[in-house]
Amino acid sequence: ADPLVIIGAGQAASQLMASLAQDGFQGEICLVGDEPHLPYQRPPLSKKFLAGELALDRLYVKPAAFYEKAGSRLLLGQRAERIDRAGRAVLLADGSRLPYSTLVLATGSRPRELPLPGAFYLRNIADVDAIRGQLAPGKSLVVIGGGYIGLELAAVAMKLGVAVTVLEQAPRLMARGVGPVVSQFYARLHGEEGVVIRTGAMVRGLDGKRVVCEGAQYDADIVVVGAGAVPNVELAREAGLAVEDGIVIDAQCRTDDASIYAIGDCASQHHDLAGRRLRLESVHNALEQARIAAAAICGRKPPAVQVPWFWTDQYDVKMQMAGLSAGHDLAVVRGDAERGRSFAVFYLREGTLIAVDAINRAPEFMMSKQLIAERAKIDPARLGDEGVAMKDMRN
Ligand code: FAD
């Protein structure tokens, strides 16, 4: 039989191979990736790896031996150019043709590019190598985009003695991911650490080493753009698969072609918690969809769906987020969000807990994950009362 082919050798692909092995998959697997690396973790790219506190080999999800097992083939530094659905084959950049029995698209996403020649982006190891060389004491950095990747970069650069300015066009930081209380906290945090934050900043262009905004200009030795990501869906779209922002998949991660699956950043799936289809860019989502797809491919019972979660590390602050806060009608703060660096914000819809942003608050995060999964209705006054322990929240 033809092999199972995976396009994209990232976090989702690596977990898929691990889960297929666990689920007893017997066929041949061929993994095609356009980067010259074994699958690696991206979160450290804007955190410890960028800071030089983590060695390259610690990024890899699994050692090389894991992929070299009998029955699997690794084609790295190879780009898939086209899917021939009728002929059930993938066409590679070197002109070769790779027949498949089952195809899994795990192509991830890429940075949204802005028309700013000379600006850097932060997505892969090569990007970090390019940026890190410029982060020296006394240098200046302008980060365009106040999302979590831009802010993590700002935090690392500050530690390295770089003067940092963050330009965000929205009225607040991380606006897509968190509520206003949390945005205000991060503006304060970065201010306390010495970062200049400008919200409502409309970048018009890059003039050499000068970032030109409406009504202001900022000189920079290096400019890095962190303006969100776009999914790598071109292969799927050209093959005629349904795409709505991401590649449309069902509950089993199958596309509208029964022999093609999609997982990770590139896929769009219905989420009960949100009540609609959406695309999540997180490690948890990549791992979860990989497990679901593996079970479906092997004809096994699907694993239980978990509450989505995410984290970001900036300075000494770890934020852990669970659930999906979009559509909440009430936000409850537990702890002091205006001073200090430890509090949580709970998001409720019609009395049901749907999400939490926990800032240096592991117990709030852990307990909320369970309560969100249970669709628990909780008295907001108790959530906000530090006298009520998290473990007693159900009562
Ligand atoms: P990826 O890991 O991006 O892998 C996709 C791979 O497919 C890439 O190597 C790509 O080059 C390759 N590819 C694409 N098209 C082709 C083709 N045609 N042929 C061959 N290969 C192809 N998530 C968190 O949960 N927490 C965090 O703190 C966090 N921090 C992050 C920090 C940074 C700087 C970045 C960039 C991401 C971060 N993420 C974080 C997001 C997380 O890394 C992604 O959600 C995750 O990597 C998605 O896995 P994936 O396998 O879908 O995609």
Q: Give Cβ neighbours of residue 92 (< 8 Å, ≥ 6 apart).
A: 32, 75, 78, 79, 80, 81, 98
Nearest to 146 by CA among 210, 219, 216, 199: 199
The answer to whether 144 and 173 have CB atoms below 8 angstroms apart is: no
The answer to whether 345 and 333 have CB atoms below 8 angstroms apart is: yes
CA distances from 103 to 4, 31, 151, 231, 282 (A): 6, 10, 36, 18, 22
Predicted-complex ipTM score: 0.99
List pocket residues of ligand 1, CB cut-off 6 Å. Answer: 7-13, 32-35, 42-43, 45-46, 79-80, 106-108, 122-123, 149, 232, 235, 264-265, 281-284, 286, 310-312
Please give the structure tokens belonging to residue 165.
Answer: 């300015």
pLDDT of residue 69: 79
What is the 46 CA–ligand 1 centroid distance (Å)? 13
What order do you get walking across the sheet with 163-167 strand by strand? 120-121, 222-225, 140-144, 163-167, 196-198
Q: Whose CA is nearest to atom 45 of ligand 1?
A: 282
CA 248 to CA 303: how far, in whole Å?
20
What residue type is 238 in one-letter code?
E
End-to-end CA distance of the chain: 56
Per-residue pLDDT of the chain (395 residues; tens, 9 = 90+): 999 999 999 999 999 999 999 999 999 999 999 999 999 999 999 999 999 999 999 999 999 989 887 679 999 999 999 999 999 999 999 999 999 999 999 999 999 999 999 999 999 999 999 999 999 999 999 999 999 999 999 999 999 999 999 999 999 999 989 999 999 999 999 999 999 999 999 999 999 899 999 999 999 999 999 999 999 999 999 999 999 999 999 999 999 999 999 999 999 999 998 889 999 999 999 999 999 999 999 999 999 989 999 999 999 999 999 999 999 999 999 999 999 999 999 999 999 999 999 999 999 999 999 999 999 999 999 999 999 999 999 86
Nearest to 76 by CA among 67, 84, 85, 66: 67
pLDDT of residue 5: 98
Coil, strand, or helix at residue 236? helix
CA 241 to CA 158: how far, in whole Å?
44
DSSP run (H or E) holding 148: helix 148-159
The answer to whether 27 and 52 have CB atoms below 8 angstroms apart is: no
CB burial string 309-334: b at 16+ within 10 A, e below: bbbbbbbebbbbbbbbbbebeebbbb
Whether the full predicted model's pTM is greater than 0.95, yes or no, is: yes
What is the 154 CA–ligand 1 centroid distance (Å)? 20
pLDDT of residue 68: 82
Q: Whose CA is nearest to atom 14 of ligand 1?
A: 107
The pairs formed by 109-113 with CB atoms below 8 angstroms and a separation of 24 or more are 109/229, 109/230, 109/231, 109/232, 109/265, 109/266, 109/281, 110/229, 110/230, 110/232, 111/225, 111/226, 111/227, 111/228, 111/229, 111/230, 112/225, 112/227, 112/228, 112/229, 112/230, 113/225
pLDDT of residue 70: 67
Which ligand 1 atom is the nearest neighbour of the CA of 267?
52
What is the 11 CA–ligand 1 centroid distance (Å)? 6
Q: Whose CA is nearest to atom 44 of ligand 1?
A: 282
- For residue 371, the tally of other CB atoms under 10 A from its CB is 23
Half-sphere exposure of 86 (CA within 13 A, CB side): 1
